[in-house]
Amino acid sequence: MWRLRKCLRSTSVAVIVAVGAVALGACESDSANSGSTSTAPASLSVDSALAAQLPARIRESGQLLIATDVPYEPIIASQGGKYVGFDADVATALGQLLGVTPVFRTTAFSTIIAGVQDGTYDTGLRGIFDTLARERRVDLVSYFSAGTQWAQPTGKHVDPNNACGLRVAVSAGTVQATVEIPAKSQACTTVGEKAITAVPFDSIDAAVAGLEAGKADAISADSPAIAFAVHKSHDALALAGDIFDTEPYALPVAKNSPLGPTLRDAVQRLIDSGEMRRIARKWGLEDGLIKQSTINTAIS
């Protein structure tokens, strides 16, 4: 389980910064090349039995089409026509294990699930939480665990559990925009307090910029992205409260597709072999490691 909480302010952020400053520092303004693949981590041997379970179209094309939305550091970003970050390395490892090339396609985050659902993409990687709402549209294969966290302008005192009347920046289509803020806002109005206003942006970078420009009072996003955003702000932003609502990150696949069990078994191989831990350590994300990959195990 992803557990940074108090240590997030020191140890884990320091690790993310140490790695990310080199690997991600030049990525902030890059636009992704729609046909680019990810950078290669270690070289893994093809698992012939797993590769044989892939849908025929993927086997024949030799490509796994993956929808993403960049940047979302340290999860994924683009650099020099390549994709870097935790999810990019996971994609590369899965591709090596299955004997296919992971090919990323950049799209808006809010369209990833629909694109997988209609067959435009085989799967998606961009810190996608497994939720009950998403499970009604696609199957979700877990590979990591993260949570939600808030940030605020330095010097402010925002309480994520008492935010009635505030404006909160979010990325459009995320669980924070579609589940968390609406639920908290309704709780406010139920007791006669002012609603929380969700201020949607197209990306995490735009949401952070909006917060810094005074368009919002706080920002809510996935905990790894918030930690990285706070670091990049050079003390302009600070964490607000602890991590909460921990859920699995998952790879979406079309409902009842054989790709789901194949990816689950491939992820489990990466977990059991220690490769997933090696990738997580590289990006300072070991606290988010899981022991077992599952399909459709959302709790909310």
State how far the Cα of 5 lies from the Cα of 12, in Å rounded to an integer.
10
Distance of CA 112 to the CA centre of its chain: 12
> In Å, how far are 65, 122, 192, 244 from 57, measured between CA atoms?
11, 10, 55, 40
Evaluate whether 5-146+246-288 and 147-245 have a shared fold: yes
pLDDT in tens, 135-193: 999 999 999 999 999 999 999 999 999 999 999 999 999 999 999 999 999 999 999 99
What's residue 43's pLDDT?
80
What's residue 37's pLDDT?
54
Q: Write the CB contacts of 226 (distance below 8 Å, at least 6 apart in sequence).
A: 149, 150, 151, 219, 239
What's residue 20's pLDDT?
40
pLDDT in tens, 4-17: 333 333 333 333 43
Distance of CA 238 to the CA centre of its chain: 21
CATH 3.40.190.10 fits 5-146+246-288, yes or no: yes
What's residue 41's pLDDT?
55
Over residues 220-226, mean pLDDT: 96
For residue 108, pLDDT beyond 70? yes
What's residue 18's pLDDT?
37
Question: Looking at the domain covering 147-245, what would its CATH class be?
Answer: alpha beta
Q: Which amino acid is at 208?
A: V
pLDDT class of 300 with cuts at 50, 70, 90: confident
Over residues 111-134, mean pLDDT: 97
Q: Write the CB contacts of 299 (distance below 8 Å, at least 6 apart in sequence).
A: 132, 247
pLDDT class of 125 with cuts at 50, 70, 90: very high
State how far the Cα of 93 lies from the Cα of 101, in Å rounded to an integer.
10
pLDDT in tens, 31-90: 334 455 555 456 899 999 999 999 999 999 999 999 999 999 999 999 998 999 999 999
pLDDT in tens, 272-290: 999 999 999 999 888 899 9
For residue 268, pLDDT beyond 60? yes
Q: Where are the domains of the chain?
A: 5-146+246-288, 147-245
pLDDT class of 232 with cuts at 50, 70, 90: confident
For residue 1, pLDDT beyond 60? no
For the chain, report the end-to-end CA distance as a whole number of angstroms.
16
pTM for the full model? Answer: 0.79
What's residue 17's pLDDT?
39
State how far the Cα of 88 lies from the Cα of 94, in Å rounded to an integer.
10
For residue 24, pLDDT beyond 60? no
